[in-house]
Structure 1
Amino acid sequence: MKVATWNVNSIRSRLDHATQWLQTNPVDVLCLQETKVVNETFPTAAFSELGYIAYIHGQKSYNGVALLSRQPLDKVQYGFAPVLGEDRVGDLDDQKRVIAGLWDDIYIVNLYVPNGSSVGSEKYEYKLRWLACLKEYLAALLTEHPNLNVCGDFNIALEDKDIYNSEGKEKHIMSSPTEREALKEVMAVGLKDGFRLFNDEGGHFSWWDYRTAAFQRNMGWRIDHHYLSAGLSDRALSCTIDLEPRRWEKPSDHTPVIMEYA
């Protein structure tokens, strides 16, 4: 069984890329982020032709997440509120960043974590609030779903080796100590980094800035992750980053990360 995560940076702009990739990489579930369309204008038919069922949680021009599955998913939920309640979640579900569903005994959570803009900004504080809510959400989910695959664009490089050059990054968004500690708190509910189960080296990235020929120079960051509960990590066979779509014309700045299970 294979689950992939990919921030496509607009599904309308990258529809041909997504369908092309699925034809050569027919994963069981593809988790998309930054779809940037409302539900009604998501290109569902293009994926139906490939045998995928689309579960969509979108908004106009910004954010948006979707699950594309080769079989119907059970217990599909949108946002934090179905688990934590609206009083606890407050405004954190206004942006469409969370979707989850059950494939057999694996509960897949697809996330688009806020970027945070700049350290100390209002958006940074929002990101930290969002991550605190995420921790509660995942802890609650684990009580019902012990096999948890949490994936998506986390907008955080957890370690220095996840960045091409970590010098000065303690003051940089996506690598500040406070963000990293917040993500470690999320993982402390009982999650392991799927990629690091198989590869402990630096130099492996999933996002490259469009500027300064960053991809060609491999000046990237590893910010797209799969985090696995303890039982599910025992079933993991591989976790790979597919660089090929980043080489295509007008690509997303992210590339797919694929998790495979026994």
Structure 2
Amino acid sequence: MKVATWNVNSIKARLPNVLDWLDGFQPDVALLQETKTIDENFPRLEIEERGYKVLIHGQKSYNGVAILSKHPIEDPLIGLPGDDADEQARYAEGTINGIRFATIYLPNGNPVETEKFPYKLGWMKRLKARAGELLASETPVVLAGDYNVIPTDVDVHDPEAWASDALCQPESRAAFREILHLGYVDAYRVYNTAPHRYSFWDYQGGAWQNDHGVRIDHLLLSPQAADRLSASGIDSAPRGKPKASDHTPVWIELAA
């Protein structure tokens, strides 16, 4: 089973690139973030024509997540539990072939001195609670998405330049480690130990051309899912296309 996570930075703006990638990469499951459209305007028809089932949690102009699957998506959950007042579309879950998948668009948290950073940390606390509940089910779990967390300094091209950013704050990194310490595995790092490999390059300052990136898109696997992991990597090709998202897909392969 080929699984990938990708922050598409507007599904409508990137639709030709997304369809081209689906046709070429042929993921069994694609977990998308920042779709930036309400459910009714999601390009369901074009994606379903390629054999995918679709689970959408959309929002006008901002956020938005989706799960695309070549197999039925069962027991859907829309929204991260723990705060009924949170209306931001950042989380969805579904079970596919006995594996529980979540697509995650974690808050950015910048500027740190505003209310956005406490919201990020509170959201991560809720994610940890949900991750613990899923772990207790003892089923394979894949928590995938744009975490907006740079785990360590080897995951950023210039640690000093990013030191004050919410993505690098000690509190953000600690909250990310807390989820890992529950028993989850950073799937990319299982097969890729080289430093300075990235999944996001800003549009400004020639970041893509100069490989000035960060690794913020992650697939965290429960032990039962990690036992099935056979490969992982970053597909950088979509980032080099015209009108590209500033993120690129990160992928894994899971044995049946």
TM-score (norm 2): 0.97
Structure 1 contact 106–145 (Cα < 8 Å) conserved: no
Question: Which residue is equivalent to 1:178?
Answer: 171
For 1:146, what is the secondary structure of its paired residue?
A: coil
Mapped to 2, the partners of 1:24 and 1:68 lie a distance apart of: 15
Residue type of the partner of 1:236? Answer: L
Deviation at 1:146, TM superposition (A): 2.5
Mapped to 1, the partners of 2:20 and 2:173 lie a distance apart of: 34
Residue type of the partner of 1:80? Answer: L
Mapped to 1, the partners of 2:88 and 2:207 lie a distance apart of: 29
Question: Which residue is equivalent to 1:13?
Answer: 13
Question: Which residue is equivalent to 1:220?
Answer: 213
Structure 2 contact 7–247 (Cα < 8 Å) conserved: yes
Question: Which residue is equivalent to 2:80?
Answer: 80
Structure 1 contact 19–47 (Cα < 8 Å) conserved: yes
Mapped to 2, the partners of 1:38 and 1:184 lie a distance apart of: 33
Query: Which residue, out of 60, 80, 83, partners 1:89?
Result: 83
Structure 2 contact 192–233 (Cα < 8 Å) conserved: no
Mapped to 2, the partners of 1:187 and 1:90 lie a distance apart of: 26
Question: Which residue is equivalent to 1:85?
Answer: none
For 2:123, what is the secondary structure of its paired residue?
A: helix
TM-score (norm 1): 0.95
Deviation at 1:145, TM superposition (A): 4.7
Deviation at 1:8, TM superposition (A): 0.4
Mapped to 2, the partners of 1:208 and 1:62 lie a distance apart of: 20
Question: Which residue is equivalent to 2:44?
Answer: 44
Structure 1 contact 148–228 (Cα < 8 Å) conserved: yes
Deviates more, 1:153-162 or 1:226-235: 226-235
Question: Which residue is equivalent to 2:121?
Answer: 128
Deviation at 1:186, TM superposition (A): 1.9
Structure 1 contact 132–186 (Cα < 8 Å) conserved: no
Q: Alpha carbon RMSD of aligned pairs, Å?
A: 1.1
Q: 1:1-262 to 2 correspondence within 5 Å?
A: 1-81=1-81, 88-92=82-86, 94-262=87-255
Mapped to 2, the partners of 1:227 and 1:102 lie a distance apart of: 16
User: Structure 1 residues 168, 215: CA separation in 2 closer, same or farther (over 3 Å shift)?
Assistant: closer
Deviates more, 1:16-25 or 1:135-144: 135-144
CA deviations 1:107-138 (Å, max 9, x no partner) are 11110000011223210110000000111111
Deviates more, 1:211-220 or 1:134-143: 134-143
Residue type of the partner of 2:193? Answer: D
Mapped to 1, the partners of 2:78 and 2:84 lie a distance apart of: 14
Residue type of the partner of 2:217? Answer: D
The sequence identity of aligned pairs, in percent, is 41
Mapped to 1, the partners of 2:138 and 2:94 lie a distance apart of: 11
- Kindly tell me the number of residue pairs found equivalent between the two proteins: 255
Structure 1 contact 4–30 (Cα < 8 Å) conserved: yes
